[in-house]
């Protein structure tokens, strides 16, 4: 149906262009809010009526007559009606809707994908401090980042996944001193252990594990480093390096369990070691965008829309955290990434204006609004009707690995993607493991498995060849349920494009739930393995196409499409 829609849209543009030069650019179809009104709609008559000094309904009637005289509308359109002040409602013939089955079956996993554009995108996500296990908020970020990458890949972009490690600063020192205290035999609650709301210590059991392995002189390996412990409790620098490598390895295991991979791990420390931080400060100074006040170096961020100027270098000579962020984003730009997306928690909202101001003030050619941000809220976890707030292992929060072990990778991904990123979300562990229609991931996966079961029964009984269904006569697909399913399949490519543009993988979850519901309705209304061979092959082709689109959509989310459940 996608090719049909394109043909009709081109025809509409040509007719509009004849009526008024330049009007063809306004040729757009919408989906009617009420299905009974038709399959496609256009408001172009109301848009053009005023500049053409015509009554919108009369203009719509003239358009109707002109369109119905074209070969494309005669071939594919069953009815074209005018409603209200000038809405044009189009109802397609069944054969127009049936075209999508051939397209899905012939294109397979590529259905919905666009040709390569040559455009490059860098998505930075997770970017957790190497000071503890990944928590549920990191899980939401990992699911979002990976799904956004997958969405852009369907649109022909070259996508690059990056993890930024904040391996420099106060939190790393806190990690080292906490590990040293554990190695000396102290634990939370002891007089020697830092206490209070802002105490500089990490209390989770994982710190004890790090200390024990350090004393045992173990070797730890992560994606980019390997370190062997000295076992010397007084060697704080050794302990720091060992603890970071240890937690890097632990986070690697978390990400592997979540089936998330990265193309690059970028270290904050490298920005200092390479001189990039000092270089960006010099750029800002040379551009006249800094000043000294109260012993600190300030950036004139108010010149770029910030509510107040920001400190860059404190009185003790250390830089505030947004300064290396500016250097990091200049590095992204210099590496050729003209489009960059950062997936971060809503607590990072205040840094957006500072980073963008720093990039503009540096005057290196970066456009305004660079980079894009997707901010997400944290996640509440409920189990047995009660909120789960802590993990014994982490000490103060539920870890991503806890959630995966309690449910599954598929459930965690689908659930964490099922709401807009900036909305509060409660993860119900009991619902995530339920095998019923209330569980959205089970509902969608079950629809796929149900179709696979039907196809397997056909192959076993009739020796059917799945590839042959792409040539099936689809004329029998005339029922309301079949036509509704066909129309929904045809919306998949446009849904993908819109979801990518809006950084909205939740749109994919909504679509898949709607598609699964449409399939279940169709399955309940019509038997598929009937005696009539023509009818049977048409229905099999329809459900095979549905299974393919379910598979494709789940793949965008990083969720499996099981053949049996």
Cα gap 113→157, rounded to integer Å:
10
- Of 143, 110, 5, nearest to 496 (Cα)? 110
Give the pLDDT band (50/70/90) at residue 391. low
Q: Vertex 390, ends 389 and 396: CA angle to 5°?
A: 115
Here the contacts of 267-273 (C-beta below 8 Å, separation 24 or greater) are 267/165, 267/167, 268/164, 268/165, 268/166, 268/167, 268/168, 268/169, 268/324, 268/328, 269/167, 269/168, 271/324, 271/327, 271/328, 271/331, 272/168, 272/324
| CATH code of residue 341 | 3.40.50.620
Domain holding 26: CATH number? Answer: 3.30.1360.70
Q: How confident is the model over 193-229, as pLDDT tens digits?
A: 998 777 788 988 899 999 999 999 999 988 777 899 9
Asked if residue 333 and residue 442 are part of one domain, the reply reads: no
Give residue 217's pLDDT: 97
Tell whether 457 and 530 lie within a shared domain.
yes
Across the range 307-317, mean pLDDT stands at 93
Angle CA 426–427–429, to nearest 5: 140
What percent of the chain is predicted at pLDDT more than 70? Answer: 99
Number of structural domains found in the chain: 3
Whether 229 is covered by a domain: the verdict is no
Burial 436-472 (b: 16+ CB within 10 A, else e): eeebbbbbbbbbbbbbbebbeebeeeeebeeeebbeb
Token pair of 475 as six digits: 């004329």
Is 161 part of a structural domain of the chain? no
Residue range 148-185, pLDDT digits in tens? 999 999 999 999 999 998 887 788 989 999 999 999 99
What local confidence, expressed as pLDDT, does residue 324 receive?
95
Do 445 and 540 belong to one domain? yes
447 and 365 within one domain: no
Three-class secondary structure of residue 30 per DSSP: strand
Provide the CATH number for the domain around residue 478.
1.10.730.10
pLDDT at position 32, please? 85
In 3D space, the residue among 134, 215, 121 whose CA is nearest the CA of residue 160 turns out to be: 121
Question: Structure pTM?
Answer: 0.91
Is residue 137 assigned to a domain?
no
Residue 16 pLDDT > 90: yes
Q: What is the pLDDT of residues 131-144, one digit of tens each?
A: 888 999 999 999 99
Going by pLDDT thresholds of 50, 70 and 90, the confidence category of residue 1 is: low
User: Would you say residue 390 has pLDDT above 80?
Assistant: no
Q: What percent of the chain has pLDDT over 90?
A: 84
Q: Is 396's pLDDT higher than 80?
A: no
Cβ atoms 126, 260 nearer than 8 A: yes
> Is 155 within a domain?
no
Across 214-223, 381-390, 464-473, 526-535, which has the greatest mean pLDDT? 526-535
Between 26-40, 221-235, 322-336, 383-397, the lowest mean confidence (pLDDT) is in 383-397
Contact call for residues 273 and 169 (beta carbons, < 8 A):
no
Distance (Å, whole) CA 24 – CA 48? 11
> Which residue reads 């050619």 in tokens?
365
Contact 174, 239 (CB under 8 A): no
Gap between the Cα atoms of 419 and 358, Å rounded: 32
Same domain for 474 and 364:
no
User: Residue 392's pLDDT is what?
Assistant: 57
| pLDDT for the residue 42 | 95
Answer with the one of 35, 62, 92 that is the final residue of a domain. Answer: 92
Q: Is residue 58 part of a domain?
A: yes
pLDDT of residue 393: 60
Q: What are the distances in angstroms from CA 349 to CA 342, 344, 375, 429?
A: 11, 8, 7, 29
Domain-terminating residue out of 60, 92, 124: 92
Is the distance from CB of 329 to CB of 124 less than 8 angstroms?
no
For residue 236, what pLDDT is reported? 94
pLDDT digits (tens, 9 = 90+) for 430-441: 999 999 999 999
- Same domain for 353 and 444, yes or no, is no
In a domain, 365, yes or no: yes
Range of the domain at 62: 2-92
Asked whether residue 409 is domain-assigned, the answer is: no
Helix count (H) and strand count (E) of the chain? Answer: 21, 16
User: What is the model's pLDDT at position 31?
Assistant: 86
Would you say how long the chain is, in residues?
Answer: 565
Determine phi and psi for 94, rounding to 5 degrees: -55, -40
Listed residues 92, 114, 130: the one ending a domain: 92
pLDDT mean across residues, the chain: 94
507-519 per-position pLDDT tens digit: 999 999 999 999 9
**Does residue 369 fall inside a structural domain?**
yes
Q: Locate 437 and state its tokens.
A: 């229609």
Closest by CA to 374, choosing from 415, 423, 308, is 423
Instruction: Determine the pLDDT at residue 169.
Output: 74
Averaged pLDDT for residues 308-333 = 94
Q: Which of 368, 339, 416, 410 is nearest to 156 (CA)?
A: 339
Residues 546-563 have pLDDT tens digits of 999 999 999 999 999 999
Structure tokens at 133: 């296990």
């Amino acid at each position: 149906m996608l090719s049909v829609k394109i043909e009709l849209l081109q025809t509409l543009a040509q007719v509009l262009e004849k009526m008024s030069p330049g009007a063809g650019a306004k040729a757009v179809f919408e989906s009617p809010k009420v299905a009974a009104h038709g399959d496609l709609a256009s408001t172009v008559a109301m848009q053009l009526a005023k500049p053409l000094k015509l009554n919108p309904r009369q203009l719509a009637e003239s358009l109707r007559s002109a369109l119905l005289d074209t070969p494309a509308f005669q071939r594919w359109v069953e009815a074209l009606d005018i409603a209200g002040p000038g809405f044009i409602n189009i109802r397609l013939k069944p054969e127009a809707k049936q075209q999508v089955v051939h397209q899905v079956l012939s294109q397979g996993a590529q259905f919905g994908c666009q040709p390569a554009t040559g455009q490059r995108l860098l998505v930075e996500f997770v970017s957790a401090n190497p000071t503890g296990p990944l928590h549920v908020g990191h899980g939401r970020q990992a699911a979002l980042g990976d799904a956004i990458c997958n969405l852009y890949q369907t649109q022909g972009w070259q996508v690059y996944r990056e993890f930024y490690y904040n391996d420099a600063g106060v939190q790393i020192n806190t990690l080292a001193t906490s590990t040293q205290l554990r190695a000396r035999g102290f634990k939370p609650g002891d007089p020697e252990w830092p206490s209070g709301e802002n105490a500089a210590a990490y209390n989770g059991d994982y710190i004890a594990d790090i200390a024990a392995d350090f004393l045992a002189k173990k070797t730890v390996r992560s994606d980019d480093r390997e370190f062997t412990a000295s076992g010397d409790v007084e060697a704080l620098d050794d302990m720091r390096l060992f603890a970071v490598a240890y937690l890097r390895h632990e986070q690697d295991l978390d990400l592997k369990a979540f089936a998330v991979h990265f193309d690059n791990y970028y270290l904050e420390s490298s920005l200092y070691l390479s001189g990039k931080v000092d270089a960006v400060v010099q750029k800002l100074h040379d551009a006249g965008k800094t000043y000294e006040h109260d012993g600190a170096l300030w950036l004139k961020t108010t010149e770029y829309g910030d509510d107040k100027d920001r400190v860059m270098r404190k009185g003790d000579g250390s830089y505030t955290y947004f300064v290396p962020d500016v250097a990091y984003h200049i590095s992204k730009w210099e590496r050729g990434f003209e489009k960059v997306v950062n997936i971060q928690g809503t607590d990072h909202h205040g840094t957006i204006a500072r980073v963008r101001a720093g990039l503009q003030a540096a005057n290196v050619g970066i456009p305004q609004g660079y980079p894009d941000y997707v901010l997400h809220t944290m996640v509440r976890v409920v189990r047995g009707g009660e909120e789960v707030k802590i993990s014994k292992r982490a000490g103060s929060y539920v870890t991503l690995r806890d959630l995966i072990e309690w449910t599954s990778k598929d459930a965690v991904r689908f659930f964490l993607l099922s709401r807009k990123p900036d909305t509060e979300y409660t993860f119900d562990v009991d619902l995530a493991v339920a095998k019923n229609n209330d569980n959205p991931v089970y509902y969608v996966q079950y629809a796929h498995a149900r179709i696979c079961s039907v196809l397997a029964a056909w192959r076993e009984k009739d020796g059917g060849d799945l590839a042959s269904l792409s040539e099936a006569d689809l004329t029998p697909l005339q029922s309301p349920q079949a036509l509704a399913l066909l129309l929904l399949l045809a919306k998949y490519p446009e849904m993908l494009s819109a979801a990518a543009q809006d950084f909205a993988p939740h749109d994919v979850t909504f679509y898949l739930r709607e598609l699964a519901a449409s399939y279940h309705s169709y399955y309940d209304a019509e038997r598929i393995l009937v005696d009539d061979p023509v009818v049977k092959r048409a229905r099999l082709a329809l459900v095979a196409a549905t299974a393919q689109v379910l598979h494709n959509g789940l793949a965008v989310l990083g969720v499996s499409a099981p053949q049996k459940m």
